[in-house]
Amino acid sequence: MTTLTLRQMNRWTLARQMLLERTHIDAVTAIERLAGMQAQHSPSPYIGLRSRLHDFQREELQTALLTDDVFKATIMRGTLHLVSARDYRSIPRRHAQQEPHLQQDGAGPAGGRR
For residue 78, the SS3 value is coil
Pure H helices in 5-111: 6-16, 27-33, 43-52, 58-66, 85-89, 93-98
Per-residue pLDDT tens over the stretch 43-68: 999 999 999 999 999 999 999 999 99
pLDDT for the residue numbered 113 = 45
Going 28 to 37 to 39 to 44, the CA torsion angle's sign is: negative
- Domain positions in the chain: 26-98
Q: What is the mean pLDDT of the chain?
A: 84
Least confident of 20-29, 51-60, 95-104: 95-104
Q: Mean pLDDT throughout 35-43?
A: 90
DSSP 8-state symbol, 99: S
